[in-house]
């Protein structure tokens, strides 16, 4: 348990390093942040905090740098107090309101905004198709036993899946099946209708029961497995950050964006918790993301155009966490007014 003095020193060292990129020494802390204490007193406390795992010294004659443990203290301090929205929030709201196209274009644009404003990688995802309102479902015969399903969600997002039935089925029956599914599902989420859908659809179509069952089962499998549509922007920006001059740190971020599965896991946890999540350095390992020990990620749930979404930023361990969180929260507010 940190004392009040130790907490102040940890916060000061993290803030100083985020601001300057330089190790913080005891004299800097006494001059800028904690007055009334001698550099010797601060130096002793910093030595104790180093033993406790909050700091490390790159060189014996230099000041201290924060560890992921210190960043966690700083982030918890930031998120536990009320924060001011950036002055530019109104401008960002106008930018977002100017996008009149579908949700895919909107989220792609928002990731560009996040990257531009922070110089980190902006990410967004539309998760949980089973919780999204269905606008329309089309089933089309591709010949033989193959069927193409097009699922249009509220807001214009389109997902597709291809599956096979056990036998060749009349295209007119496929059209009728789609009509009946839409009668129940249109304007509702799959979660709301899945338990009653089969009995309604099958009524009068008992002679093709197996085809109906297989089609609905395939739709259910596709919609209830957590699928995500990802958007990202800003990989070129992080090339300008000193942190990413180390190839391994850059590769970790690019690999995370390419593989998507580890990112899906983190996004799903954010969706389930319905709250801001900040994963710092080595904490990424416990989130199931390997190679991100020198990087951090901030994720936050959003809601826009009748759909749930996740926004986020990926950056260095030395992120400006407070500003990044403020920007993300402002974006969530702006999207919520859409």
Q: Per-residue pLDDT tens for 71-91?
A: 999 999 999 988 888 888 888
CA pair distance 38, 243, nearest whole angstrom: 33
What are the structure tokens assigned to 298, written together?
């901030």
Domain-embedded: residue 57: yes
pLDDT, residue 226, reads: 57
Largest CA-CA distance found in the chain, in angstroms, rounded: 88
243 in the same domain as 95 = yes
pLDDT, residue 338, reads: 61
Q: Exposed, middle or buried, 266 (CB in 10 Å: 0-12/13-18/19+)?
A: buried
Give CA separation, 141 vs 25, 138, 209, 336, in Å. Answer: 70, 10, 17, 39
The pLDDT of 22-26, averaged and rounded, is 92
244 in the same domain as 95 = yes
pLDDT, residue 141, reads: 86
Instruction: Give the lowest-confidence range in 68-77, 236-245, 272-281.
Output: 236-245
Q: Exposed, middle or buried, 190 (CB in 10 Å: 0-12/13-18/19+)?
A: buried
Please report, for the domain that includes residue 248, its CATH number: 3.30.450.40
Give the range of the structural domain holding residue 185, as residue numbers without chain letter: 132-224
332 in the same domain as 236 = yes
The pLDDT of 151-177, averaged and rounded, is 82
pLDDT at 41 over 80: yes
How confident is the model over 293-333, as pLDDT tens digits? 889 999 999 988 777 899 999 999 999 999 999 999 999 98
Domain-embedded: residue 56: yes
**More confident call, 51 vs 161:** 51
Give me the sign of the Cα torsion angle 24, 26, 29, 32: negative
How confident is the model over 191-229, as pLDDT tens digits? 788 778 877 777 767 667 778 788 888 888 777 765 678
What are the structure tokens assigned to 62, written together?
């230099």
244 in the same domain as 104 = yes
Number of domains in the chain: 3
How confident is the model over 98-117, as pLDDT tens digits? 876 778 888 999 999 999 99
Residue 103 has φ and ψ, to the nearest 5°, of: -65, -30
Domain boundary residue among 224, 241, 259? 224
Domain boundary residue among 185, 200, 224? 224
Domain-embedded: residue 206: yes
| DSSP-assigned beta bridge partners for residue 296 | 280, 315
| 78 in Cβ contact with 283 (< 8 Å) | no
How confident is the model over 116-137, as pLDDT tens digits? 999 999 999 986 666 778 889 9
Query: DSSP code of 84?
Result: P
Please report, for the domain that includes residue 199, its CATH number: 3.30.390
Instruction: Give the lowest-confidence range in 46-50, 151-155, 202-206.
Output: 202-206
178 in the same domain as 304 = no
Domain-embedded: residue 84: no
Q: What is the per-residue DSSP string for 148-194?
A: EEEEEETTS-EEEEEEE-SS---HHHHHHHHHHHHHHHTTSBHHHHH
Residue with tokens 């919609």: 223
pLDDT at 179 over 80: yes
Residue with tokens 């260095």: 316
Cα-Cα end-to-end distance for the chain: 44
Prediction pTM value: 0.76
């Amino acid at each position: 348990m940190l004392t009040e003095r130790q907490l102040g020193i940890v916060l000061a060292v993290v803030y100083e390093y985020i601001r300057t990129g330089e190790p913080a020494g005891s004299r800097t802390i006494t001059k800028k942040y904690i007055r009334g204490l001698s550099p010797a007193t601060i130096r002793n406390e910093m030595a104790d905090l180093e033993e406790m795992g909050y700091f490390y010294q790159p060189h014996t004659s230099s000041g201290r740098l924060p560890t992921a443990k210190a960043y966690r203290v700083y982030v918890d301090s930031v998120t536990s107090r009320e924060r001011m929205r950036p002055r530019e929030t109104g401008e960002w709201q106008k930018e977002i309101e100017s996008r009149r196209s579908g949700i895919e274009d909107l989220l792609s644009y928002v990731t560009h905004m996040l990257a531009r404003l922070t110089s980190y990688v902006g990410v967004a995802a539309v998760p949980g198709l089973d919780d999204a309102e269905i606008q329309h479902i089309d089933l089309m015969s591709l010949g033989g036993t193959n069927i193409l399903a097009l699922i249009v969600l509220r807001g214009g997002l389109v997902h597709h899946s291809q599956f096979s039935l056990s036998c060749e089925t009349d295209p007119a029956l496929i059209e009728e099946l789609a009509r009946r599914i839409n009668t129940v599902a249109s304007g509702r989420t799959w979660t709301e209708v899945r338990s009653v859908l089969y009995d309604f659809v099958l009524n009068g179509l008992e002679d093709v029961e197996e085809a109906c069952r297989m089609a609905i089962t395939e739709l259910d499998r596709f919609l209830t497995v957590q699928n995500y549509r990802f958007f990202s922007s800003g990989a070129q920006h992080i090339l300008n950050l000193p942190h990413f001059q180390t190839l391994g740190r850059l590769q970790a971020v690019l690999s995370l964006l390419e593989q998507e599965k580890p990112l899906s896991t983190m996004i799903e946890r954010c969706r389930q918790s319905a709250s801001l999540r900040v994963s710092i350095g080595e904490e990424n390992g416990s989130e199931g993301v390997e190679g991100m020990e020198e990087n951090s990620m901030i994720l936050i749930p959003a809601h826009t155009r009748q759909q749930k979404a996740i926004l986020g930023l990926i950056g260095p361990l030395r992120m400006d966490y407070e500003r990044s969180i403020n920007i993300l929260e402002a974006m969530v507010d702006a999207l919520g007014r859409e």
